[in-house]
Each structure stands twice: as structure tokens, then as C-alpha cells.
Amino acid sequence: MSAADRLIVALDVNSREAALALCAALRPKVRHYKIGLELFTACGPDLVRDLLRAGAQIFLDLKLHDIPNTAARAAVEAARLGVGMFTIHLSGGPLMARRVADEVTAHCEIHGTPRPRILGVTVLTSLAQQDLASVGVTRSLEEQVVALAEMAGQAGLDGVVASPREVGRLRAVLGPEMTIVTPGVRLAGGESQDQARTLTPREAVAAGADYIVAGRPILSARDPLEAAETILLQIEGR
């Protein structure tokens, strides 16, 4: 997989205009974009459709987490939009995860449409061990990530989202088929900001990540395209 295929740029903005402008600026180098809660809440599914029509590939990161029936219905709507990947929160449990996978698969088979990859979010990259303890999780952070990732595979999901720090262990446990997406990467020499468990893009890929999500290193740059090119070079190890 090329570096350009591995990079997903997070459209962490709150307007249609800002999102389209950023995509236009990055178009020579970037193919994949993540739409999260802020932008989706601000602009809704119409922006997703517009970006898809413009040739972008969309990772819809809404981290669905609800009772199985509600989560599955929302997941089917994500599939109906035509996104390539979307997320659910694995803390929603195995029944929710299995229901989402089954409903999306059935919908896509009935309508003859491509099935998006369903990714389970393990433990947010902003959390550390003491944060898990504060909500009653007694496993170590790494054990919690691995347990949730194994549940994702058993439920029929296509991959997981995890911090770069857990990628090596996850790849060993999950094998080569499951997709691993890693947010929270930082540029070599950059600050980690509110991410507790980070690596550089090259370190994350070397550990076994399939996709790297980058937001602030690009959005906060004076020249976003140049920042994206820097990340691509770092993914390649240059």
C-alpha cells in the first residue's frame, strides 16, 4: 500500500466551506478524509455526498454507541451514504457490534452495493491507565485494547481503531487481515497535545498500522499541503 493510500486527513473543522477548501488544497496528495462528530453535526450527510462526488474517500468517524437496534440502523444509513469506512464504539458490547455487522452486510447484499469497512474503537487515544480506572475498568490499558479488538473480530467487524502504542500487539493478536487505523500520530519532533499514547507516522506503520489519521499537524500548518507531504515522507521512512 502506498503512503498516499495510508494517510487519512481528519477534517476537524466546523463548516462546509472550510472542509471543501481544505480538500481542494490537499487534493494533489490526499485521497482519504475523516469526517467526525463536529463536522457531521455542523453539515450533515449532504457534505459527505458532496465529497464523495468530488472523488474523495470518506472515513465516517461517528463512533456509534447505542442499543443494538439503534446502532445498527444508524450503521445502515452510513452504508447507504457510500462511505468506505465507519466506526462504532466497542464498549457498546458484542451484541451491538454483531448486530451492526449483520445489518450492514444484509443491506449491502440486498442492494448490491459495496460494504463499508466497519471499525471498532478500542480505547480513545486521549485516555491513560488512570482514566480507565476512574470508570471501573480493572484491566491494564493494553489488555483492555486487546480484549475489545478480539471482540471486534469475533463480531464480524473488519478492523479496529487504536493508538499507535498498541498496534504491534494488536497486529500479533489479530493477524494480517484485520484493518488497524491509528489516530494520535505526531510528526517527528512535534508535540503530542491531548493525545496520551502517540508515535510518529513511520513508527506506527512499522508497528503494523494500515492507516494513519492526521488532523492538527495538517490543519494548524501554514501550508497544509506541505504538512501532508511531510507526513507522507515520514510514512515512507524518508
**Banded model confidence at residue 196, pLDDT cuts 50, 70, 90:** very low
Q: What is the mean pLDDT of residues 20-49?
A: 95
Question: Global pTM?
Answer: 0.92
Please confirm, yes or no, whether 34 is among the known catalytic residues. no
The proportion of the chain whose per-residue pLDDT surpasses 90, expressed as a percent, equals 77
Q: How far apart are CA 106 and CA 113, in angstroms?
A: 10
- Taking each continuous run of H as one helix and of E as one strand, the counts in the chain are 12, 8
Mean pLDDT of the chain: 92
Q: What is the pLDDT of residue 200?
A: 84
Helix runs in 92-196, H state only? 94-111, 129-134, 141-154, 167-174
Q: Is the pLDDT of residue 189 over 80?
A: no
- Is residue 161 very low, low, confident or very high in pLDDT (cuts 50, 70, 90)? very high
81 has pLDDT over 70: yes
Task: Please give the average per-residue pLDDT across 26-43, as a whole number.
Answer: 95
- pLDDT band at 194; cut points 50, 70, 90: very low
The pLDDT of residue 190: 53
Structural domains in the chain, sorted by start: 3-235 (3.20.20.70)
| Active-site choice (34, 63, 99, 165) | 63
- Angle, helices 141-154/94-111, rounded to nearest 10 degrees: 40
Q: pLDDT tens across 126-160, in order? A: 888 999 999 999 999 999 999 999 999 999 999 99
- Beta strand pairing call for 211-214 and 179-182: parallel
- Residue 192 has a pLDDT of 47
